[in-house]
Structure 1
């Protein structure tokens, strides 16, 4: 689990920096090729006497994470630099919403594959390891298919006009690229703006520290980075606890009366269906709520509102945990879905958008990469730190509770305190958001 986010953190920093040096277009294809190769390699990994399959998977998942990390700053910056200020927020939100649809589609594909191998999985009193092994390889391998399709388009798009004009100083080519890409036949360049951009400082280490060394610029990077960090503590921490919610709504562990083969099948299909429900109930609607309001209300108000609502929701879930799970599971599920909704109709989307708009062209991708990498550090803390916190409580179960029956969850109090910690981080996100400018229309 940790290999992917560590690789993602490195990829966000590396590709964010490279995209400001050699261009967005070149790196956009490279990082996707890394994702495709690493994903396919996971699907065909095997065990050998010299190395275990776990070690091989860790290596490939780390490399996949590097590619995924590069996709964060590049997708944000490219969509930002191609869009008009009037519709930029909606376009960037549409790009980011593909993440939610990807999660939903992965659950659908998982359910289809598991259902296709139902008879093989259930065929014996003990689970058929060959059938389960085939299932996970197919599910992971099929994840490379959309990437292969997208690769053609990434390799054929032009360089962003902002990079061509501001960094390469080729104004004529920038205009021609926009003309070709949008097929409008016209492109108007403000002569005064051209002079100003042509004389803008070039990126360098000294200029980077001079620029961000000024409080009015440095506070923006601090605000985008910490806001993403605070969000990912809860966003990934909450994702780790999906199995708790799935148990509560009847899509968790199988009945103990089932034989092992039937139990394995029921567990796998329940996880897939449950994840579809959670995605459709909270994650996906949140993206489209943001899409409706982002260019009207603005980025900063949505992020503030989201952090405030998440502070309230996590406080209720944490401080009233025993009451909710004991007496009103429906309310707990509703609050969980609302947390997912206000993450996406809130900071999960805006932390992706604001860094793509707030920084000058020469540091836009680097600034976005630093912000995203800081957020991924929060995800790593959520995955490693909280699981250690649980382990220090003399409880044998892992943080994700996969092997806990629902009745035993009430005996386990660490989730209550973890939700309270999430609420605290959401409150700090309110204050870091105050450091940010409103980037709507800039």
Structure 2
């Protein structure tokens, strides 16, 4: 046996090999440290491959309750705007209808606030962390919702003006919920179930819309006798001198409907404030692999707030790319990355022109098909509520849940492209055949096509435009880019309200609605084209989808060949060659 091997193996010789050569310390014989890139991928692999469990359901529920509240508050304005007409504009001039400029301001205010909230909270979440920011948007929503329900007016400030202000603030909170809920869900999800989890969060929007209509219907039914009594006590004015004669019972109804919207947000607040930081943010932004591994284990074990401070100093990897304005533009100026952001932003923009153009004006569509507009206040409010429930239960809600069922099977891109193609066709038919369908006594054809459009909005681009931006960008810009995409969508919603809604009444009430539907068909076709810029994300990890080389994600300094890097004892001792 070689002499040096004997020295290392015989128990009597507990001597350091550094006696023979300075490089031959005991530490030099230990295994070389694992490449940080490998350690990072192994840490992320644990959550990517996790089996679906109650901890995933908890994450979906925490994010989803917020979306339930968002949709409830956004779309409740459909029925609230009708109520405000009966309360503040029941006079000869306005005929119990909210003036069009105020109706637009109510609906645009929330979307305008959402644009700011999506951009600002998207950036904040990347800058300061998902956990540190998550929950503040709900605080804004709760405060603005309660303030809206308690709004009043005076000689210097009309009540509707106060409501518009609080709706603007509400929009900021709602906007902040979009990027944060999407990113937290995607970063906690396993690869296999990520699409289904994100779609389930977004599907809570459908439940929120239906819940708002149901609460309104129950309120109207509960105040039935009060409404009828008020109509007798406060008859509709017959002359302009009488001014506004509002109905107190209807005033109570809209305040009750809005106020109830704060309840689910209050329930969700505690859980959002105690949710742990996502492993990906801990590893890629806080640059701490060991803390990320601990966060993963704590999440999978059901521990709410992981204590990462204990390991903060152990395993920093400073070479991980950091977010900066310069790096942001460097990254997205590359066509392979920039085209994805363009695809997510423009497809969401084109979608929301039609989705919010119709969704925020369901009462107009219901009037056009004879399901609203009755002179009897109680019947009008009841039918608007029932009509909204029917349209959403039959069309919207099934579309959301079919997306949840098939998004990880069919894939995001086919659902989005197919949805846009079908919507283009449906809006063309609705627009071109509007008057023949409208003039039918039953209007069954129009209702059937409209319900189909609602279905394919949600089993289509309305779901996927939310899901895809939460998957395709690197961790350091994931929330910011999702916020940019979502803000593009809300810009489309504003455009729909400001430009297209007033056009519907050109030439008379709802006389131009057929042309609006044709214009929506053109935007759906543009959405179809822009969808080809996005990649298919099904079955791929977030790291694969980022488009960055994960094997060289952490750049390693080039090390010169050193004695410590060699495995040969003869080389370590630098023995002379035997000729």
Fold match by TM threshold 0.5: yes
Q: Please name the residue that 2:498 is paired with.
A: 384
> How many pairs were matched up?
410
Q: Please name the residue that 2:412 is paired with.
A: 299
Shift in Å at residue 26 of structure 1? 2.1
Shift in Å at residue 80 of structure 1? 0.3
Shift in Å at residue 292 of structure 1? 1.5
For 1:43-442, what aligned pairs fall within 5 Å after superposition?
A: 43-123=149-229, 124-125=231-232, 126=234, 129-183=247-301, 199-247=319-367, 251-254=371-374, 256=375, 263-327=376-440, 329-390=443-504, 393-395=506-508, 397=509, 412=511, 414-442=512-540
* 1:183-225 Cα deviation digits (max 9, x unpaired): 189xxxxxxxxx9986431000000000000111000000000
- Distance in 1, Cα, partners of 2:201 & 2:222: 32
- Distance in 1, Cα, partners of 2:339 & 2:130: 25
Shift in Å at residue 439 of structure 1? 1.2
- Distance in 1, Cα, partners of 2:352 & 2:467: 15
Q: Please name the residue that 1:402 is paired with.
A: none
- CA separation of 1:351 and 1:172: change in aligned 2, threshold 3 A: same
- CA separation of 1:383 and 1:105: change in aligned 2, threshold 3 A: same
Bigger-Rg structure (1/2): 2
Q: Please name the residue that 2:119 is paired with.
A: 13
Please, which runs of 5 or more residues in structure 2 have no aligned partner? 1-106, 236-245, 304-314, 541-579
Shift in Å at residue 241 of structure 1? 3.9
* 1:115-155 Cα deviation digits (max 9, x unpaired): 11111111142366221111111110110000000001101
* 1:344-376 Cα deviation digits (max 9, x unpaired): 001000000000000000000000000000010
Please, which runs of 5 or more residues in structure 1 have no aligned partner? 186-194, 257-262, 398-408
- CA separation of 1:236 and 1:27: change in aligned 2, threshold 3 A: same
- Distance in 2, Cα, partners of 1:197 & 1:430: 42
Shift in Å at residue 324 of structure 1? 1.4
Shift in Å at residue 249 of structure 1? 5.7
Partners of 1:245 and 1:333 within 8 A in 2: no
Shift in Å at residue 180 of structure 1? 1.8
- Distance in 1, Cα, partners of 2:519 & 2:204: 29
Structure with more helix by fraction: 1
Q: Please name the residue that 1:260 is paired with.
A: none
- Distance in 2, Cα, partners of 1:138 & 1:390: 31
Shift in Å at residue 46 of structure 1? 1.0
Partners of 2:118 and 2:486 within 8 A in 1: yes
Shift in Å at residue 233 of structure 1? 0.7
TM-score (norm 1): 0.89
- Distance in 1, Cα, partners of 2:258 & 2:210: 14
